[in-house]
A = this chain, B = another copy of it.
Amino acid sequence: MSADPWLDSAARVAEWISDYRKRLPELPVLPDVSPGDTLELLPAAPPEAPESLDDILSDLDRIIVPGLTHWNHPGFLAYFSSSSSDPGVLAEFIAAALNVNAMLWKTAPSASELETRMIEWMRRFVGLPDLFEGVIQDTASSSSFTALLAAREQALPGSRTEGLAAREPGVRPLVYQSDQAHSSIDKAVIAAGIGSDNIRRIECDGVFRMRPDLLDRTLASDLEAGHLPVMVCATIGTTSSTSIDPVRAIADICARHGVWLHVDAAYAGPAAALPELRPLFEGWERADSIVLNPHKWLTTPIDCSVLLFRDPEAVRRSLAATPVYLETGVEARNLMDYGLPLGRRFRALKLWFLFRRLGAEALRDMLRRHIDLANGFADRVRMDDRFELVAPVPFSTVCFRAIPPDADRSAGPAIDGSSSSRADDWNRYLLDAVNRRGRVFLSHTELSGQFVLRLAVGSAHVRDEDLEAAWTELTHVYEDLRTD
């Protein structure tokens, strides 16, 4: 016991975290629980009297940890990785203790300005020009939604006051994205009152990139019909396959038709920090808005999404509302004006800690290592007759399938859109069996109508042996299934 009970509590929690981290690699990534299991262990009402920290931590071990999917587990290779490295964890600790609210400049001047500077650091890190400004949002969903609101007000001036229902019913506000765009864009379109029927899902080429010729043709025909294009969303690193829309060509089309270009680089954005990968991002510097998520590939604790925009006034104009009780009389940027939530956590602190404690060079090294690990795994898939790659691997995510043992390979699963439900079932079983074993966690998607396995590298904690284990698990279960 020290003289300061706070230090004792903090030390106790730090030890709990240290223990958790030590046993994490031995825990199953996915827990063996069924819906309702945790609820049963939790009392229906809050306690009247205080309980000790030790009791709470002991329940954390008994009730919560066994029911967690461990995102910080080194074998977590599902979805896009979201992991937390030490600097961000420490920064979150401090942010919670400071508990400032950077809604107005006046309510947190240095936090507001640190956020502005961290946006600049991020912009420099990924090599975007000075003209981009931005804010930190919680998630890419919120960032893209904010961008859509700005695009909506630009395409339909006055819609923030009149609303969309005041428009001519024959004139449709339209949003353009590839059929591989993330569901967050769909949700943004729904939320903004534009309606999901007003999404034009532009077909992709054979490697899942938006076809600019089709975009151009659709836009031209919509404009001719008197409709109102609101936004084109291009993706660098789509969720299913990490494909890369041809942003330069799309930017040309957007410029020609005067449409807002939003680039969703939530996952892949940080990889633009690597000069050798910069060509994959060609054209994004012409976007009106860009989203990239440090809480994905940059190991910042969730949540931290960076929204960059070319014209801050376009964003502010679309959404800002300052009641008398929030007027300050100070001439400074109030960050609440660039998003829906009024309250704003001190998220910039974790970016500051991340960049300073690790340094830009180490972050680039990490990105390169992840890309190497993914490509090593892809090579194994490529060289093994039991598996096949189903998409290129531009970043750190591998999309692949198992080929059932008795399948005629020439007639078997391929990326030509043919239905292959037996192979699909086989891959589903395989994925489920691998995940149930608990050593690694992979996810899935659908590409060209086929069920596809997906392995994503991007965690602060991933080790060479975890990729090795993923391969071992897959081949092991494959052989088990073969002999079943």
Contact = CB atoms under 8 A, between A and B. Distances in A.
A169 B92 CA distance: 48
A178 interface: no
Contact of A46 (B93, B186, B191, B355): B355
Copies in the complex: 2
A165 interface: yes
Contacts of A39: 113, 116-117
A125 B50 CA distance: 15
A362 B89 CA distance: 29
B332 A35 contact: yes
A110 B68 contact: yes
A99 interface: yes
B197 A46 contact: no
Interface string A18-52: 10110000000011010111110010111111110
Of the listed residues A30, A88, A162, A186, the one surrounded by the most CB atoms of chain B closer than 10 A to its CB is A162
Interface in A187-236: 187-188, 190-198
A149 B191 contact: yes
B69 A117 contact: no
Nearest to A33: B109
Interface in A90-146: 90, 92-101, 105-111, 113-114, 116-117, 120-121, 124-125, 138-142, 145
26 contacts: A7-B14, A7-B15, A37-B109, A38-B114, A39-B117, A44-B124, A46-B124, A46-B359, A48-B360, A51-B359, A53-B90, A65-B110, A69-B108, A71-B108, A79-B325, A84-B99, A159-B195, A160-B195, A163-B198, A187-B319, A193-B193, A193-B194, A303-B343, A303-B345, A324-B444, A324-B446
